[in-house]
Amino acid sequence: MAASSGQTAVDTAVPAAATTRGRRKAGALRTRLRRDWQLLLLTLPALALLLVFHYVPTLGNVIAFQDYSTVDGILGSPWVGFGNFVYLLGDPAFWHAARNTLTITAFQLVFYFPVPIALAILLNSVLRPRLRALIQNVVYLPHFFSWVLVVTVFQDMLGGAGLLAQELDKHGFEGFDLATQPKTFLLLVTAQSVWKDAGWGMIIFLAALSTIDPNLYEASAVDGASRWRRMWHITLPGLRPVIILLLILRLGDALNVGFEQFLIQRSAVGADAAEVIDTYVYWLGLQTADYSIGAAASLFKGVIGLTLILISNKIAHRLGEQGIYQRS
């Protein structure tokens, strides 16, 4: 109120002097700036951090089009056009990493994605609030552990000197090291993802379940629908919008598999199984100091990822869902 009255005071004062629309507009801007400068000042530190540590390095991706050398810097290094990309597309190791990334995404889509949904439905059927809260809090917990910790715990359970091998050994079987098997690596990382994040991923489905109208259940129960039919015809359709939304988001995220998770285990299982685009960028770009090629690979991934996000958002809007960002 105080603000708008301030504005009208100036608005009535200005027209007498202002002859053009432009000057009046400038005056209004100045008024708004005077009114809101404190809000702008509060926003400033965050924007400064984003500018320096997000926007500036994003521009730094131009080295993908250069033969970058640390001595000459971005300004002094020679431009090579799309040379780095051409090199990249001819590098079998890059294609190997890309194929691995997509395989892992596809595998996790089938074997990870449904787990939180199933857990949410299971937990939703627990009637006693205390018990429910207890279980919920226990399964959320691993989400807050770091990848190093999760991988270490898995190694201690399933690794060569781990609990499983130890128990097998005790009963006269040959123990084996599941933590270093390239063949089962896909299963291992999916199990790690489930352990760490399935409980947390459940939250959003629990929220969706709580919005389903209980009258629907009552009506169908009165009509004689069995427990399973109620789940099939009410619960799952109730979750449909969330499931679709998350599937779409997953598409936009297809090239981002857990970076740390793979980096940490790369040496144990070997690059053959554990190399993804991110680790490829890391090893090529920073370990062998091939900055330009690494930046090109990461830019390539970024552009495809961004395209996938925009496409999936388009699909989301077409399906009448909210999508990733709302048009407001």
Residues of span 116-135 touching other proteins by CB under 8 A: 119, 122-123, 125-129, 135
Least distance from other proteins to the Cβ atom of residue 21, Å:
19
Least distance from other proteins to the Cβ atom of residue 101, Å:
15
Residue 197 near residue 203 (C-beta atoms within 8 A): no
In terms of DSSP H, where are the helices of the chain? 2-17, 21-50, 56-59, 73-76, 83-89, 92-111, 114-124, 129-140, 147-158, 163-170, 185-210, 214-222, 227-230, 236-252, 259-269, 271-274, 277-281, 291-318
Least distance from other proteins to the Cβ atom of residue 8, Å:
15
CA–CA distances in Å: residue 135 to residues 122, 194, 206, 217, 235: 11, 16, 13, 24, 21
Residue in 148, 142, 151 with CA at minimum distance from that of residue 116: 142
27 is a site residue for other proteins (CB under 8 A): no
The residues in 259-278 that bind other proteins, with binding defined as CB under 8 A, are 259-260, 263-264, 267, 278
Q: What is the distance between the alpha carbons of residues 108 and 130, in angstroms, rounded to a whole number?
A: 32
Stretch of 8-16, 76-84, 85-93, 215-223 contacting other proteins, by CB under 8 A: 215-223
Among residues 13, 99, 168, 169, which is the contact residue for other proteins, using CB under 8 A?
A: 169
257 is a site residue for other proteins (CB under 8 A): no
Residue 66, beta-bridge partner list: 79
Least distance from other proteins to the Cβ atom of residue 150, Å:
9
Residue 79, beta-bridge partner list: 66
Least distance from other proteins to the Cβ atom of residue 30, Å:
10
| 259's tokens | 């970076």
Stretch of 15-23, 79-87, 101-109, 195-203 contacting other proteins, by CB under 8 A: 195-203
Residue nearer to other proteins on the CB measure, 16 or 139: 139
x/- track of binding to other proteins for residues 297-326 (CB under 8 A): -xx--x--xx--x--------------xx-
Identity of the residue numbered 221:
A
Backbone phi, psi, residue 80, to 5°: -125, 15
224 is a site residue for other proteins (CB under 8 A): no
Residue nearer to other proteins on the CB measure, 58 or 229: 58
